Structure 1
Amino acid sequence: MQIYLVGGAVRDRLLGRPGGDRDWVVVGSTPEAMTAAGYRPVGKDFPVFLHPDTHEEYALARTERKHGHGYHGFQVYASPDVTLEDDLVRRDLTINAMAQDADGRVTDPHGGQRDLTARVLRHVSPAFAEDPVRILRLARFAARFADFTVADETMALMRQMVADGEVDHLVAERVWQELARGLMEERPSRMFEVLRDCGALARLLPELDRLWGVPQRADYHPEIDTGVHVMMVLDMAARLQAPLSVRYACLGHDLGKGTTPPDILPRHLGHEGRSVQLLRDVNERLRVPNDCCELAEVVAREHGNIHGSGNFGAAAVLRLLGRCDAWRKPQRFIEVLLACECDARGRLGYADHPYPQGERLHRALALGQAVDTARVSAEALARGLKGPAIGQAIDEAREAALSAGLDTAQPDHSAPPGV
């Protein structure tokens, strides 16, 4: 039995980056021998075991043969006669196809170290084309290693995979899993740049793909192109270390601009409502988690109002907070404001601008939360009020608090309204 550290852990050590999970490959063993040594089997599609002490994954060296479409269309062969080189050749990228033994010696049959030095993402073999998930993985690595380029021959192969319909067989769960991981990388826009370049974005997220080439008003959006703007917003979310839900909301907030009637461009009247509907289609198709769905819909619907809230009085601010369900879900509302800040600063020349609307609405939330609703309710009951009338009394108390505590409303033009 020979054990090797493989994949990303080797790559990250060579790059001097912090290591994450470690994966191991075992050569010359059998499932029976692994179980006898105390390893616990967990693999469903191929033999993977958990170490009895560290609980890290140890997989038997294996080969794969394609027999159908999609991620599951493989036959797996694992046996003591499968070599380390046999196992490495089935991997996706050269930088992930290296192994290291217990003495630190690196096995690198496909030039992974060379490509690390050259900052290139390159497929190992033509077998890359057998698994469409690898397109998503490569795009995710492009977002993580933002200074790496995609090898010309690898891009050509991915375009052929798209043309052959392989991407159409991806299951929703895997698409969302890879997109979510890519959204959390250092420069998430790179993931969508690669997917768009190979044609996969048009198949997986046509609602997003159609934004490129759609103009916006240059006085509010100096970058003009809607697709470019959305990518700038996404990278701003990464810069501000936003959580996944906020980054997803940034991705989907302007989808409706892709369906704006050509005769009213570059204005986008009503794009907020269209964005919400398109988001619902994407959410259902990709089975997006509820927290991401809900936040994205609120941001899509209300971002124009939040941008324009600098000239709202207390009553209008109160209505805005109510539509955002801020009293029941204050933390979500704070994330809504963060997404809107990313939108305002994700424009050419605005990256370092302040976002006073966010600060003002933060203050409005705090003022409203400070109202003693239990006392207001008790007083309303004592006056004989019931049901909706009690809710109205609470609203009036909150509006009074906002009127007393918010600064005088001033028009603010630092962020675009819903145009």
Structure 2
Amino acid sequence: MQIYKVGGAVRDALLGRPVADIDWVIVGARPEELLALGYQPVGKDFPVFLHPESKQEYALARTERKTAPGYHGFAFHAAPEVTLEQDLARRDLTINAMAEDAAGQLIDPYGGQRDLKDKVLRHVSPAFAEDPVRILRLARFAARYRDFTVAPETLALMRAMVAAGEVDALVAERIWQEFARGLMEAEPSRMLEVLRACGALARLLPELDRLFGVPQPAQHHPEIDTGTHMLMVLDRCAALAAPLTVRYACLCHDLGKGLTPTEALPRHIAHESRGLPLTRRVSERWRVPSDCRELAELMTREHTHVHQSLSFTPQARLNLLERCDALRRPERFAELLLACECDARGRLGLQDRPYPQRPKLLADLRCLQGLNQAELSAAALAQGLKGPQIGAAIARARLAALAAMAQT
């Protein structure tokens, strides 16, 4: 029995990057032997075990065979005679198909170290085409390793996979999982660029794909193209270390611009209301978690109002805060403002422009939070007010507080 460190841990160590998780492959063993040594089985589709002490994952070397379309259409074979080279051959990219033995010796049968040096994302074998998830994984790696390029032959293979309908067989949960991880990488725009280059974006996210080539007013968007703006906004999210909720909201916020007329002037009137059903459709299709879904809908609906809020009257600012449920959901409101800042700064030449709307509206929220609602309610009751009259009195007090702030 021989044990090897494999995959991402080997890759990242060679790159000088922090190693988070370590995967191991065992060659020359049977499941019964591992059970006798105290390993705990956890794999459903193929033999994977937890080490009795470290609890790290150890997988038996295996081969796989395509049996049906999509992600789950595989038959696996794990046996003592399966070699390390055979196991590595089934992996997606050459940079992920390296191993290290117990003595620290690198095993690199498919040129992964060379591709790391040349900064190339290249598939290991034609078997790459059998698993459509690999398209998403490669795009995610492009977002992580910003200076890597996709090998031409790999991009051609990905295009062939899209044309064959492989990406149409992907399940919603896996699409969201890979997209979410890609959005959290250092340069998420590259994930979308790779998916667009191979045609997968048009299949997985047509609402976004149609934004490319759609113009916007130059006075607000020097980059002009709506799709380009979206890429810049996502990279601004990464620069500001925004959480996933904010990044997903930014991904969706301008989808309505793909439906608004632009024949005369590309003003995109009512793109917010047109975009809201599209945002909901994407969230439903991918089964997006509720926190991401809710912020995306709020961002789609309110981002232009937030941008314009410096010119709002106290009443209009109060209305905005109430529509956003800011008093009950202050954390979500803060995320909305961060998303709006990413939107405002995700524009050509404006990446470092201040966004005073964010601190101003946060100050408005703190002002309202400083009001004691119990005391306001008690005062209204003492005046003989009831029911909706009490709510109206509280609203007047809030408005007066915001008006007072405007005069300071």
* TM-score with structure 1 setting the length: 0.96
Given the superposition, is the C-alpha separation of residues 78 and 48 from structure 1 closer, same or farther in structure 2, using an over 3 Å criterion? same
Report the equivalent of 1:308.
308
Alignment match, 1:199: 199
Q: How far did residue 290 of structure 1 move?
A: 0.4
Aligned to 2:350: 350
Q: Say if 2:66 and 2:75, in contact at 8 Å, map to a contact too.
A: yes
| Structure 1 position 273, deviation (Å) | 0.7
C-alpha distance 162-407 of structure 1, shift in aligned 2 (>3 A): farther
| Compared CA separation, residues 79 and 234, structure 1 to 2 (3 A) | same
Structure 1 Cα separation of the partners of residues 37 and 387 of structure 2: 67
Pairing 1:300-339 to 2, within 5 Å after superposition: 300-339=300-339
Does residue 217 of structure 2 align to residue 209 of structure 1?
Answer: no
Q: In the alignment, residue 278 of structure 1 is paired with which amino acid?
A: L
Q: Where do residues 163-182 of structure 1 align in structure 2 (5 Å cutoff)?
A: 163-182=163-182
Equivalent residues in 2 for 1:230-379, closer than 5 Å: 230-379=230-379
Preserved CA contact (<8 Å) 1:364 1:406: no
Call closer, same or farther: CA 1:401–1:5 in 2, change over 3 Å: same
Deviation at 1:38, TM superposition (A): 0.9
User: 1:168-193 CA distances to partner (integer Å, 9 max, x unpaired)?
Assistant: 00000000000000000000000000
More deviation in 391-400 or 120-129?
391-400
Q: Is 1:64 matched with 2:64?
A: yes
What TM-score results when the alignment is normalised by the length of structure 2?
0.99
Identity of aligned residues (%): 69
| Secondary structure at the counterpart of residue 24 of structure 1 | strand
Q: Residues 377-402 of structure 1, C-alpha deviation per residue, up to 9 Å, x if partnerless?
A: 11122223233222222221111111
Asked whether the 8 Å contact 2:39–2:52 carries over to 1, the reply is yes
Consecutive unaligned residues in structure 2, runs of 5 or more: none
Residues 1:129 and 2:129 are matched in the alignment: yes
Shift of 1:265: 4.0
Determine the C-alpha separation between the residues in 2 that align with 1:6 and 1:388.
66
Letter of the aligned partner of 2:34 in structure 1?
A: M
Q: Distance in 2 between matches of 1:223 and 1:311?
A: 25
Q: Which runs of 4+ in 1 moved over 4 A?
A: none
The residue identity in structure 1 corresponding to 2:340 is C
Amino acid at match of 1:10: V
- Are 2:381 and 1:384 aligned? no
**Distance of 1:70 and 1:220 partners within structure 2:** 43
Q: Mean Cα displacement is larger for which, 132-141 or 268-277?
A: 268-277
Greater Cα shift, 124-133 or 24-33: 24-33
In 1, are the aligned partners of 2:246 and 2:336 still within 8 Å (CA)?
yes
- Mapped contact 1:215–1:265 kept (Cα < 8 A): no
Matched AA of 1:154: T
Q: Report the alpha carbon displacement of residue 56 of structure 1 after superposing the two structures with TM.
A: 1.1
1:87-124 Cα offsets, whole Å, 9 max, x none, are: 00000000000001121101000000000000000000
Return the letter of the residue paired with 2:282. Answer: V
Measure, in 2, the Cα distance between the counterparts of 1:222 and 1:375.
50
Q: Distance in 2 between matches of 1:64 and 1:342?
A: 43
Q: CA deviation at 1:55?
A: 1.3
State how far apart, in whole Å, the 2-side matches of 1:374 and 1:262 are. 51
Residues 30 and 307 from structure 1, CA distance in 2 versus in 1: closer, same or farther, beyond 3 angstroms? same
Structure-2 separation of matches of 1:137 and 1:125: 16
Deviations 1:282-335 (A, max 9, x none): 011000000000001111100001000001121110000001110110000000
Post-superposition shift, 1:351?
Answer: 0.4
Alignment check: 8 A CA contact 1:360 1:406 kept: no
